Copies of this chain bind each other. A is one copy, B any other.
Amino acid sequence: MESLKQAIRERGNVLSDTVLKVDSFLNHQVDPKLINEIGQAFAERFKNEGITKVLTIESSGIAPSLVVATHLGVPFIFARKKKSLTMTDNVYRSQVYSFTKQETNEITVSKDLLHADDRVLIIDDFLANGQAAFGLCEIVEQAGAQVVGFGIVIEKSFQDGRKKLTDKGYRVESLARIQSFKNGTVQFVDEFVTQLSK
Protein backbone atom coordinates (compact mmCIF):
# COMPACT_ATOMS: atom_id res chain seq x y z
CA MET A 1 0.00 0.00 0.00
CA GLU A 2 1.87 3.00 -1.34
CA SER A 3 0.50 5.77 0.91
CA LEU A 4 1.38 3.70 3.98
CA LYS A 5 4.89 3.00 2.75
CA GLN A 6 5.33 6.70 2.02
CA ALA A 7 4.20 7.57 5.58
CA ILE A 8 6.65 5.01 7.00
CA ARG A 9 9.51 6.41 4.92
CA GLU A 10 8.76 10.08 5.58
CA ARG A 11 7.24 10.08 9.08
CA GLY A 12 8.52 6.86 10.61
CA ASN A 13 11.62 6.80 12.77
CA VAL A 14 13.97 3.81 12.93
CA LEU A 15 15.10 3.53 16.55
CA SER A 16 17.19 0.35 16.26
CA ASP A 17 17.63 -2.69 14.01
CA THR A 18 14.27 -4.01 15.18
CA VAL A 19 12.21 -1.01 16.35
CA LEU A 20 10.28 1.41 14.15
CA LYS A 21 8.54 4.39 15.70
CA VAL A 22 5.32 5.34 13.90
CA ASP A 23 3.65 7.32 16.64
CA SER A 24 3.13 10.42 14.53
CA PHE A 25 0.54 8.69 12.32
CA LEU A 26 -0.36 5.19 13.57
CA ASN A 27 -0.13 4.39 17.27
CA HIS A 28 -0.12 7.58 19.33
CA GLN A 29 -1.15 10.36 16.97
CA VAL A 30 -3.35 8.94 14.22
CA ASP A 31 -3.75 10.29 10.68
CA PRO A 32 -7.44 9.65 9.95
CA LYS A 33 -7.09 9.81 6.15
CA LEU A 34 -4.38 7.15 6.16
CA ILE A 35 -6.23 4.96 8.69
CA ASN A 36 -9.37 5.10 6.57
CA GLU A 37 -7.35 3.95 3.55
CA ILE A 38 -5.77 1.16 5.63
CA GLY A 39 -9.14 -0.05 6.90
CA GLN A 40 -10.63 0.06 3.39
CA ALA A 41 -7.70 -1.95 2.02
CA PHE A 42 -8.34 -4.72 4.57
CA ALA A 43 -12.09 -4.67 3.92
CA GLU A 44 -11.45 -4.98 0.18
CA ARG A 45 -9.16 -8.00 0.65
CA PHE A 46 -11.53 -9.87 2.97
CA LYS A 47 -14.92 -8.75 1.63
CA ASN A 48 -15.86 -12.17 0.20
CA GLU A 49 -14.94 -14.19 3.29
CA GLY A 50 -18.23 -13.96 5.16
CA ILE A 51 -16.58 -12.22 8.14
CA THR A 52 -18.96 -11.81 11.11
CA LYS A 53 -16.57 -10.19 13.65
CA VAL A 54 -13.37 -8.19 13.56
CA LEU A 55 -11.05 -8.78 16.53
CA THR A 56 -8.05 -6.76 17.74
CA ILE A 57 -6.20 -5.93 20.99
CA GLU A 58 -6.35 -2.51 22.59
CA SER A 59 -5.10 0.02 21.66
CA SER A 60 -3.39 0.51 18.30
CA GLY A 61 -5.59 -1.91 16.35
CA ILE A 62 -8.81 -0.13 17.32
CA ALA A 63 -8.76 2.66 14.73
CA PRO A 64 -8.17 0.46 11.65
CA SER A 65 -10.61 -2.15 13.04
CA LEU A 66 -13.39 0.45 13.19
CA VAL A 67 -12.91 1.24 9.50
CA VAL A 68 -12.81 -2.45 8.47
CA ALA A 69 -15.89 -3.23 10.58
CA THR A 70 -17.75 -0.22 9.16
CA HIS A 71 -17.06 -1.34 5.59
CA LEU A 72 -17.91 -5.01 6.27
CA GLY A 73 -21.02 -4.05 8.28
CA VAL A 74 -20.06 -6.17 11.31
CA PRO A 75 -19.11 -5.37 14.93
CA PHE A 76 -15.54 -5.35 16.15
CA ILE A 77 -14.15 -6.41 19.51
CA PHE A 78 -11.01 -5.20 21.21
CA ALA A 79 -9.52 -7.71 23.62
CA ARG A 80 -8.82 -6.11 26.98
CA LYS A 81 -5.38 -6.10 28.57
CA LYS A 82 -6.68 -5.05 31.98
CA LYS A 83 -9.78 -6.32 33.64
CA SER A 84 -12.40 -3.68 34.31
CA LEU A 85 -14.91 -3.70 37.20
CA THR A 86 -17.63 -4.09 34.58
CA MET A 87 -16.14 -7.39 33.32
CA THR A 88 -17.21 -10.59 34.98
CA ASP A 89 -15.21 -13.82 35.05
CA ASN A 90 -17.17 -15.02 32.06
CA VAL A 91 -14.21 -14.45 29.70
CA TYR A 92 -11.86 -16.19 27.29
CA ARG A 93 -8.20 -15.58 28.24
CA SER A 94 -4.73 -15.89 26.78
CA GLN A 95 -1.23 -14.61 27.56
CA VAL A 96 0.58 -12.16 25.29
CA TYR A 97 4.14 -10.91 25.71
CA SER A 98 4.76 -7.41 24.39
CA PHE A 99 8.29 -6.81 23.16
CA THR A 100 7.92 -3.02 23.04
CA LYS A 101 6.53 -2.86 26.58
CA GLN A 102 8.54 -5.82 27.94
CA GLU A 103 5.69 -7.29 29.88
CA THR A 104 3.19 -10.14 29.67
CA ASN A 105 -0.49 -9.23 29.59
CA GLU A 106 -3.40 -11.52 30.11
CA ILE A 107 -5.85 -10.56 27.40
CA THR A 108 -9.55 -11.24 27.79
CA VAL A 109 -12.71 -11.27 25.67
CA SER A 110 -16.18 -11.65 27.13
CA LYS A 111 -17.77 -15.02 26.33
CA ASP A 112 -20.96 -13.16 25.44
CA LEU A 113 -19.30 -11.66 22.36
CA LEU A 114 -17.74 -14.58 20.44
CA HIS A 115 -19.64 -17.67 19.35
CA ALA A 116 -18.99 -20.94 17.55
CA ASP A 117 -20.56 -19.70 14.30
CA ASP A 118 -18.37 -16.56 14.09
CA ARG A 119 -15.93 -16.06 11.23
CA VAL A 120 -13.27 -13.75 12.64
CA LEU A 121 -10.83 -11.36 10.97
CA ILE A 122 -7.94 -10.42 13.28
CA ILE A 123 -6.44 -6.93 12.83
CA ASP A 124 -3.25 -5.55 14.38
CA ASP A 125 -0.85 -2.68 13.82
CA PHE A 126 2.35 -4.77 13.88
CA LEU A 127 3.29 -8.39 13.23
CA ALA A 128 6.74 -9.35 14.54
CA ASN A 129 7.08 -12.73 16.25
CA GLY A 130 3.33 -13.34 16.27
CA GLN A 131 2.76 -13.26 20.04
CA ALA A 132 -0.34 -11.07 19.88
CA ALA A 133 -1.64 -12.87 16.79
CA PHE A 134 -1.46 -16.29 18.46
CA GLY A 135 -2.97 -14.93 21.68
CA LEU A 136 -5.97 -13.71 19.70
CA CYS A 137 -6.15 -17.03 17.78
CA GLU A 138 -6.32 -18.91 21.06
CA ILE A 139 -9.28 -16.83 22.18
CA VAL A 140 -11.13 -17.45 18.90
CA GLU A 141 -10.43 -21.18 19.25
CA GLN A 142 -11.71 -21.21 22.84
CA ALA A 143 -14.98 -19.85 21.45
CA GLY A 144 -15.04 -22.62 18.83
CA ALA A 145 -15.10 -19.91 16.15
CA GLN A 146 -12.99 -19.70 13.00
CA VAL A 147 -10.06 -17.38 12.24
CA VAL A 148 -10.52 -16.34 8.62
CA GLY A 149 -7.28 -14.39 8.40
CA PHE A 150 -5.02 -11.63 9.65
CA GLY A 151 -4.90 -8.01 8.50
CA ILE A 152 -1.58 -6.48 9.55
CA VAL A 153 -0.65 -2.84 9.01
CA ILE A 154 3.15 -3.25 9.29
CA GLU A 155 4.89 -6.62 9.11
CA LYS A 156 8.47 -7.01 10.31
CA SER A 157 9.26 -9.67 7.74
CA PHE A 158 12.69 -10.31 9.28
CA GLN A 159 10.94 -11.83 12.31
CA ASP A 160 9.11 -15.14 12.14
CA GLY A 161 5.49 -14.17 12.89
CA ARG A 162 4.27 -14.50 9.30
CA LYS A 163 5.98 -17.86 8.80
CA LYS A 164 4.46 -19.25 11.99
CA LEU A 165 0.98 -18.13 10.93
CA THR A 166 1.17 -19.29 7.30
CA ASP A 167 2.69 -22.62 8.42
CA LYS A 168 -0.54 -23.13 10.35
CA GLY A 169 -2.52 -22.38 7.19
CA TYR A 170 -3.68 -18.89 8.08
CA ARG A 171 -4.08 -16.16 5.47
CA VAL A 172 -1.95 -13.11 6.32
CA GLU A 173 -2.49 -9.79 4.51
CA SER A 174 0.13 -7.20 5.44
CA LEU A 175 -0.07 -3.71 3.93
CA ALA A 176 3.63 -2.91 4.41
CA ARG A 177 6.26 -5.66 4.71
CA ILE A 178 9.62 -4.55 6.04
CA GLN A 179 12.74 -6.48 5.07
CA SER A 180 15.17 -4.57 7.28
CA PHE A 181 15.95 -1.32 9.08
CA LYS A 182 19.61 -1.39 8.11
CA ASN A 183 21.56 1.86 8.52
CA GLY A 184 18.50 3.55 9.95
CA THR A 185 16.50 3.33 6.74
CA VAL A 186 13.50 1.17 5.97
CA GLN A 187 13.77 -1.41 3.23
CA PHE A 188 10.48 -2.98 2.12
CA VAL A 189 10.22 -6.61 0.98
CA ASP A 190 9.13 -5.88 -2.59
CA GLU A 191 11.93 -3.31 -3.12
CA PHE A 192 14.38 -5.85 -1.80
CA VAL A 193 13.10 -8.47 -4.25
CA THR A 194 13.28 -5.93 -7.08
CA GLN A 195 16.89 -5.11 -6.23
CA LEU A 196 17.88 -8.77 -6.03
CA SER A 197 16.47 -9.41 -9.50
CA LYS A 198 18.30 -6.52 -11.17
Contact = CB atoms under 8 A, between A and B. Distances in A.
Nearest to A35: B66
A138 interface: no
Given A36-B70, A58-B58, A101-B85, A77 B28 contact: yes
Nearest to A59: B58
Given A30-B69, A59-B58, A23 B78 contact: no
Given A75-B30, A76-B30, A23 B102 contact: no
Contact of A66 (B20, B30, B76): B30
Contacts of A70: 32-33, 36
Contacts of A76: 29-30, 32
A15 B62 contact: no
A20 B21 CA distance: 37
Contact of A75 (B19, B32, B80, B84): B32
Contacts of A109: 28
Contact of A29 (B15, B77, B100): B77
Contacts of A141: none
Contacts of A101: 82-85
Given A29-B77, A112-B24, A85 B102 contact: yes
Given A59-B59, A62-B62, A66-B35, A75 B23 contact: no
Contacts of A82: 101
B113 A24 contact: yes
A30 to B, nearest CB: 5
23 contacts: A15-B86, A19-B85, A23-B110, A25-B75, A28-B87, A28-B110, A29-B110, A29-B113, A30-B65, A30-B66, A30-B77, A31-B75, A32-B66, A32-B74, A32-B76, A36-B70, A58-B58, A59-B59, A59-B78, A63-B66, A82-B101, A84-B100, A85-B101
